[in-house]
Amino acid sequence: MIWQQTTWTDGAIAFLGDNGIMAFSAMEGRVRNLDIVVLSSIIALIQELLGKVPFVIRSYGNEAMRTLIPHIVFVISTIVIITTDSTIFLRIPRTMCHLISGLFVEQTTQIMLDHMVEEKFSAFRWVMLPQVALAAAMAAGVAVPNDSVDVFFMAYTTGLWVYLALKLKTHVNEICDVLGIWCFDIVSPRPKSKRD
């Protein structure tokens, strides 16, 4: 499979070596093609952060950076869990990917909704509390058996996605009710509900 091979990096290293640049010769045969995608994504992320954060602070003040607090806590707690339990992605990869994506979706949809209705985004996210608590316990050295961690993350992920489904359904219904439209049909009129 092309992603598992090292042809791209080996070719680039050979090209650089032919032109007198030997600094990357130690990487020959060690960096897979799929690693290039990850490394370029990391470089792009760093470039975006260094370029955008000062612009946002200058334009909107430090208060605008408050919305990043949940994302930073999310990233740090995820890194702590992965570094203290290095086999977690080997044991329950789908569960961890679903959990990480669910937490990101919850934060992103809430910040978008708060921006649309001009409300203040709450930096405290209740749905992140279990992950942060487990990460703190693991960082403190509390010995938690792998089976317990796996069951905890499976229950947590299931609960998170049930909560997200109900939350998004409620938001979509409320927005459709206020606008007097149906979700996937904005042409047909919809009577507004009679709520007090």
Q: Enter the tokens of residue 157.
A: 């992920």
The per-residue pLDDT for range 120-167, each reduced to its tens digit, is 888 888 999 999 999 999 999 998 899 999 999 999 999 999 999 999
Q: Which of 90, 78, 72 is nearest to 134 (CA)?
A: 78
Per-residue model confidence as pLDDT tens digits over 24-64: 666 666 666 667 777 788 888 888 888 888 888 888 888 77
For residue 116, give Cα distances in angstroms to 112, 113, 164: 6, 5, 19
Percent of the chain at pLDDT > 90 equals 35
What does pTM read for this prediction? 0.71
Give 61's Cβ-side CA count (13 Å radius).
1
pLDDT at residue number 196: 44
For residue 9, how many other CB atoms are within 10 A of its CB? Answer: 20
63-76 average pLDDT score:
85
For every residue of 39-90, DSSP letters joined together read HHHHHHHHHHHHHHHHHHHHHH-GGGGGGGHHHHHHHHHHHHHHHHSTTHHH
Residue 58 exposure: Cα atoms within 13 Å on the Cβ side: 5
**Selected residue with higher pLDDT from 181 and 98:** 98
